[in-house]
């Protein structure tokens, strides 16, 4: 992920499993 999300807030619904979980993990790595 190229975007700098440091200090940003992201809301991911369905983040308990599947693609939602993977998106949440990637957003966390990007600083969101």
- Over the stretch 1-32, which tens digit does the pLDDT of each residue have? 567 788 888 889 888 889 999 999 999 988 88
Contact (CB, 8 A) for 10 and 27: yes
Q: Which two tokens stand for residue 12?
A: 């991911």
Question: What is the spatial distance between Cα 26 and Cα 31, in angstroms, rounded to a whole number?
Answer: 9
Query: What's residue 22's pLDDT?
Result: 92
Residue labelled with tokens 């939602």: 20
Query: What's residue 8's pLDDT?
Result: 87
Q: What is the pTM of this model?
A: 0.67
Question: What is the spatial distance between Cα 17 and Cα 14, in angstroms, rounded to a whole number?
Answer: 7
Query: What's residue 1's pLDDT?
Result: 55
Query: What's residue 21's pLDDT?
Result: 92
């Amino acid at each position: 992920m190229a975007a700098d999300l440091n200090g940003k807030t992201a809301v991911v619904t369905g983040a308990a499993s599947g693609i939602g979980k993977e998106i949440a993990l990637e957003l966390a790595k990007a600083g969101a």
